[in-house]
Amino acid sequence: MSEPLHIVQYPHPVLRTVSKPLERLDQNFQSTIRGMFELMYAAYGIGLAANQVGLPFRFFILNLMADPNQPEHEQVFINPEIIKRHSGEEGEEGCLSLPALYGKVHRAKRVRVRSYNLKGELVEVDADGLYARAIQHEIDHLDGKLFIDYLSVLKRATVSKQIRQFEKDFAESQSIGALASTETLQSQVNLIRTASVVPAPVLPPRLPAGVERPSGSRETTA
């Protein structure tokens, strides 16, 4: 990657690209994961999918504490698959690629997910509540879906102005050359997708020690 790892904003085409399963891991992967956690913490999120940083591969990260000072809660899911879903409930969600936009989404209350960890071990995890919701949200990202796709007609109408503003801002960035055309961006994504491993990242700056979440911040953003 020629530019620093960063969170892409809607409507970047990588967010609508179905991610490719990872075939193997290398030392660059660890650097990518660390960079993603840094970006997630800086944005006060609890989860981040690979395609949210322009990488169309099937992995995502979570830390439900959203706290860089609690690394013991960090999790990495590689080639995840939901194998069981139970019940259902509605809850509020947000997205780091659609900042400051929130809406209620109906999802399974409990899930069982099978994935590989950083050691290459195949593991199964049972999750409920926010944990289950975050997993489903991130796997949707890997399938090219966004939480706004699940909003009710009424709710979609109430946030339509925000969505149009994202699209307008994106188009303006393209018009001044800050972003490539959508066709070029999609071509770049398709090229990255042909790789068998995650490209070496240009890492973002590390967070200063002791960074804290601001009071009143939302904790359902991923």
| Element counts in the chain: helices (H) and strands (E) | 4, 7
Strand order across the beta sheet in which 122-128 lies: 47-49, 59-62, 75-86, 110-116, 122-128
Please give the Cα distance from 21 to 39 (Å, whole number): 22
Residues counted in the chain: 222
Decide the pairing of beta strands 75-86 and 122-128.
Answer: unpaired
Catalytic residue among 138, 167, 172, 219: 138
Burial group, residue 157, by CB count within 10 angstroms (0-12, 13-18, 19+): exposed
* DSSP code string of 139-162: HHHHTT--GGGGS-HHHHHHHHHH
134: nearest Cα among 63, 86, 58 = 63
Is 138 noted as a catalytic residue in this protein? Answer: yes
Q: Catalytic site residues? A: 138
